Amino acid sequence: MRPLLGRARDHLALRALSGLATVSAVALLAAPPALAQSSPSVQRGAAVFTANCQICHGVYAQGRMGPPLLPLPPEIAQAPRDAIVGELSGLVRSGIPGHMPRFEQGQVSDQDVGALVDWFLFENQQPRAGRSFYEALEPASNTQSSDTVTYVAATHHTISLGFKQFYDQNGGAARFGNPLTEEYSGFNEVDGTPATMQLFERARFELVSGEVRLSEIGAAELELRTHFFNLSEGGPPPGR
């Protein structure tokens, strides 16, 4: 088995920290009570993420221009903390050319990296509602179309309920392309409101308070989120 430095690097790279701009503290203001009761290191990690990482990875690390950072894959979540800190330190210092900027020591310190790991591990243990983005990449289990569900054999995904109605009434595949995921849970980037999302080849649908909205271009976002799968041993995971 490849060591953490090799096998898990692919996953850590996929979930690497990026972005240099200081942004609003919306993630901290909207944080659940559990964060306020967490250790000082976890709270410091949340602040470091808000100031340096959420600009690319989303207010709740759910992914934005950069890939999702949470939930952590099991091989990382179960690894020793020091191994994760060492791995993440290398990524923060070296960056990923063309995909992630490199941080100088004065921008993100070694203590900050340790705090980030503590925050990731803490958040990874918190209950999560709905399907994650990576779970939504798996092929649909329902392959039967009906009045409320359309199965698209070309990508092995379905379009259902409110998204199906919006899709059918506003141009369908000609405008939005085929679905690239099933529905998954995310957050609106403006105010952090929970949303149901689905990625298409040329759009991302968001269902917020019963209203379907269009978000970022889908195909480009999928490439950003899955680029480093191709570096994994054996290629992309089955079905992805």
What token pair was written down for 4? Answer: 């953490």
Instruction: Tell me, yes or no, whether 239 lies in a domain.
Output: no
Instruction: Tell me, yes or no, whether 68 lies in a domain.
Output: yes
Q: What is the pLDDT of residue 224?
A: 54
In this predicted structure, the answer to whether residue 19 has a pLDDT above a threshold of 70 is no
102: DSSP letter = P
Higher pLDDT, 221 or 198: 198
Same structural domain for residues 110 and 20?
Answer: yes
pLDDT band at 72 (very low <50, low <70, confident <90, very high): confident
Burial class (CB in 10 A: 0-12, 13-18, 19+), 114: buried
Instruction: Tell me, yes or no, whether 232 lies in a domain.
Output: no
Q: What is the pLDDT of residue 219?
A: 56
What CA–CA distances, in Å, run from 58 to 80, 188, 201, 228? Answer: 26, 9, 20, 19
Instruction: Tell me, yes or no, whether 233 lies in a domain.
Output: no
Please compute the mean of the pLDDT values over residues 107-127 and round it to a whole number.
92
pLDDT digits (tens, 9 = 90+) for 163-187: 999 999 999 999 999 999 999 988 7
Instruction: Tell me, yes or no, whether 237 lies in a domain.
Output: no
pTM for this prediction: 0.62
Same structural domain for residues 11 and 86?
Answer: yes
d(CA 142, CA 40): 45
What token pair was written down for 3? Answer: 């060591």
Same structural domain for residues 8 and 119?
Answer: yes
Q: Average pLDDT over the chain, rounded to whole? A: 78
- Overall number of domains in the chain: 2
Q: What is the pLDDT of residue 71?
A: 85
Residue ending a domain, among 107, 124, 141, is: 124
Burial class (CB in 10 A: 0-12, 13-18, 19+), 190: exposed
In this predicted structure, the answer to whether residue 108 has a pLDDT above a threshold of 60 is yes
| Type of residue found at 181 | T
In this predicted structure, the answer to whether residue 152 has a pLDDT above a threshold of 80 is yes
Instruction: Tell me, yes or no, whether 30 lies in a domain.
Output: yes
| Domain around 117 | 4-124
In this predicted structure, the answer to whether residue 222 has a pLDDT above a threshold of 80 is no
Same structural domain for residues 144 and 199?
Answer: yes
In this predicted structure, the answer to whether residue 4 has a pLDDT above a threshold of 70 is no
Same structural domain for residues 102 and 174?
Answer: no
Same structural domain for residues 156 and 55?
Answer: no
pLDDT band at 113 (very low <50, low <70, confident <90, very high): very high
Same structural domain for residues 101 and 175?
Answer: no
Same structural domain for residues 166 and 66?
Answer: no
The CATH number of residue 41's host domain is: 1.10.760
Same structural domain for residues 98 and 206?
Answer: no
